[in-house]
A = this chain, B = another copy of it.
Amino acid sequence: MTIKEIAELAGVSTATVSKILNGKDKDISEATRKNVLDIVEREGYIPNGIAKSLRIKNTKTIGIIMPDVMNLFFSELARGVEDAAEKKGYSVILCNSDNKESKEEKYIQILQEKMVDGIILTASENSVKRSLRRRKIPMVLLDRDISTDEKVGRITVDNEEGTYNATKLLIEKGCKNIGFISSNKTTKSSAQRLQGYENAILESKINFDKNKIFLQNYTIETGYKGTVSLLEKTNIDGICCGNDLIAIGAIKALKERGIKVPQDVKVIGFDDISISKYMDPPLTTIRQPIYEMGEEAVGMLIDVINNKEMEMSKVLKTELIVRETT
Q: Which residue of B has the minimal Cβ distance to A91?
A: B93
Is chain A's binding surface mostly helix, strand, loop or mixed?
helix
- 26 pairs across A/B with beta carbons < 8 Å? A48-B54, A48-B113, A49-B115, A50-B54, A51-B54, A54-B54, A59-B114, A68-B79, A69-B69, A70-B78, A70-B79, A70-B274, A72-B75, A78-B94, A79-B96, A83-B96, A86-B96, A91-B93, A93-B93, A93-B94, A248-B278, A251-B280, A255-B280, A275-B275, A279-B280, A280-B280
Q: Are A44 and B95 in contact (CB under 8 A)?
A: no
Q: How many copies does the complex hold?
A: 2
| A220 in contact (CB, < 8 A) | yes
| A134 in contact (CB, < 8 A) | yes
Q: Are B61 and A69 in contact (CB under 8 A)?
A: no
Residues of A at the B interface (CB closer than 8 Å) are 44, 46-51, 53-54, 59, 61, 68-70, 72, 75-76, 78-79, 82-83, 86, 91-96, 109-115, 134-135, 220, 248-249, 251-252, 255, 274-275, 278-280
Contact pick for A135, options B44, B50, B86, CB 8 Å: B44
Instruction: Say how far A262's CB is from chain B's closest CB, in angstroms.
Output: 15
- Chain B residues contacting A82 (CB-CB under 8 Å) are 69, 94-96
Bound-state Cα–Cα, A113 to B92, Å: 14
Bound-state Cα–Cα, A275 to B54, Å: 44
- Chain B residues contacting A51 (CB-CB under 8 Å) are 54
Bound-state Cα–Cα, A109 to B220, Å: 40
| CB-CB nearest 8 A-B residue pairs | A49-B113, A75-B75, A44-B134, A94-B94, A50-B115, A70-B79, A49-B114, A50-B54
- Chain B residues contacting A49 (CB-CB under 8 Å) are 113-115
Contact pick for A252, options B54, B91, B94, B280, CB 8 Å: B280
